[in-house]
Structure 1
Amino acid sequence: MKFKTAFAAAAALTLATAANAQVGPEVGATVYGPEGNTVGTIEAMQDGVVVVNTGTYTAPVPANAFGEGPEGPIVSVTKDQLNAMMAEQEKQMIAARDAALIENATVLTADGVEIGTVTSIDGDNAIVTLEDGPVSLMRDQFATNETGALIVLATKDQLMAALNGGSVEGGEAMEADAE
């Protein structure tokens, strides 16, 4: 009799574990913090990363950082804490970009193609000399890659399309003027 009871309990635990394994974050779900307050909404999920929109930032959060709470998915940080982490990362990225955006810096595209050299900077405007001549790009169109190299936030094809009167994918127009 004890064997049947133990077997039934093990079977129930296995079924409950399988059911819980299927529960998890889904696109559109509200994410809650440790005190039950709303942190944000799940916008996307891919490759073990869940993108949470806090209303201020869209923050990538590892999928394994989520638990299941009484109202839905939970994380161990509050909305304010997640926003503060994203603000600090943004500040660091801007500082790295500004340190790399200097005269004579080599400029790569987002897909790693060398496209030119920064020839001058005037406020938020940078002149980059390409093979076809100089173009003016705004400071916020630059970043640094994982090795610290200066990149323009477009692939070579996107940049060339924008320079020829098109726009960057996603509708973000590249403000570039041939001189």
Structure 2
Amino acid sequence: MKFKTALAAAAAFTLATAAQAQMGPETGATVYESTDGEVGGVIGTIVQMDGETIVVDIDGMKASLPAGAFGEGPEGPVIAVTKAQLVQMLQAQNEQAVAARDAALVADAAVFDSEGAQIGTIQSVDGDSAVLEMTEGAVTVQREQFAADQNGVLLVLIPRADLVAALGGEPAPAAQGGEMAEQDAE
């Protein structure tokens, strides 16, 4: 009889452990505010996870948050900050990224691609566009298609092949990700 009781207890423990392992954040889950132990409003949706970092879409803005910041609430994942606080943080980061980009986007600045290879220099900047001089020729690129990394290095968010194609008369394509890609460059 003791064997059956021990077996039943082991089975219950295994089921509880399996259920607990399935809990937690997952891609597509809605994230809620949790302040003072109470579940609040919706913050956003989990769009990506990679072990230690969880990316949450908050009204079209992407917030990379540490996985350890998430708890489990009755409706799903919770985090102990408000949506307003996260939005304010994202807007401040975006402003810093734009300011860093604008400081780096000047005549004679070296321009690098996403792999760190220098692909040219800025010939001139006029309003919302800049002329990027490459060995193949000069191409006009919109300001939003540049970013600065954490060291202030100017990056172009368009692949070199697309820039070279633009020299043949095709318009330079829009960068993937827009201003949020600038934050990723940081």
**TM-score when normalising by structure 2:** 0.77
Q: Helix, strand or coil: the match of 1:99?
A: helix
Instruction: Give the distance between the partners of 2:121 and 2:175, measured in 1 at CA.
Output: 24
Secondary structure (helix, strand or coil) at the match of 1:26 reads coil
Match of 2:154 among 135, 141, 150: 150
Equivalent AA in structure 1 for residue 20 of structure 2: N
Structure 2 counterpart of 1:85, from 81, 84, 89: 89
8 Å CA contact retained: 1:33, 1:39: yes
Is 1:21 aligned to 2:24, yes or no?
Answer: no
In structure 1, the residue matched to 2:72 is 68
Matches within 5 A, 1:20-169: 20-34=20-34, 35-161=39-165, 163-164=167-168, 165=170, 167=173
* Cα 1:16–1:36 shift into 2, 3 Å: farther
The amino acid of 1:157's aligned partner reads A
CA–CA distance in 1 between the matches of 2:121 and 2:85?
39
What secondary structure sits across from 1:36 in the alignment? strand
CA shift at 1:133, angstroms? 1.5
Change (3 A) 1:94 1:168: closer
- Does structure 2 conserve the Cα–Cα contact (< 8 Å) formed by 1:110 and 1:156? no
Asked if structure 2 preserves the Cα contact closer than 8 Å seen for 1:161 and 1:168, the reply is: no
Q: Is the 8 A contact 1:93 1:143 kept in 2?
A: yes
**Kindly, what percent of the aligned residue pairs are identical?**
49
What per-residue deviation string (whole Å, max 9, x for no partner) do you get for residues 73-122 of structure 1? 00111111111110010011011101111111001112211111111111
Q: Give me the whole-angstrom Cα distance separating, in 2, the residues matched to 1:57 and 1:171.
A: 10
Alpha-carbon distance change, 112 to 125 in structure 1, aligned in 2, over 3 angstroms: same
Structure 1 residue matching 2:40: 3-state secondary structure: coil
Shift in alpha-carbon separation, 1:46–1:159, aligned structure 2, 3 A: farther
Distance in structure 2 (CA, Å) of the matches to 1:50 and 1:156: 30
Kept after mapping to 2: 8 A contact 1:111/1:156: no
- Write the letter of the residue equivalent to 1:44: Q
| Structure 2 gap segments, 5+ residues each | 179-186
Measure, in 2, the Cα distance between the counterparts of 1:171 and 1:87.
16
Runs of 4+, deviation exceeding 6 Å: 8-14
Do the aligned partners of 1:48 and 1:63 also contact (CA within 8 Å) in 2? Answer: yes
TM-score of the two chains, using structure 1 as the length reference: 0.79
Aligned-residue CA RMSD (Å): 2.9
Q: CA deviation at 1:26?
A: 1.4
Deviation at 1:64, TM superposition (A): 1.9
Q: Verify the 8 A CA contact 2:54 2:67 in the aligned structure 1.
A: yes
The alpha-carbon deviation at position 31 of structure 1 amounts to: 0.4
> SS of 2:68's equivalent?
helix
Three-state SS of the structure 1 residue aligned to 2:93 is helix
Letter of the aligned partner of 1:79 in structure 2? K
- State how far apart, in whole Å, the 1-side matches of 2:147 and 2:50 are: 23
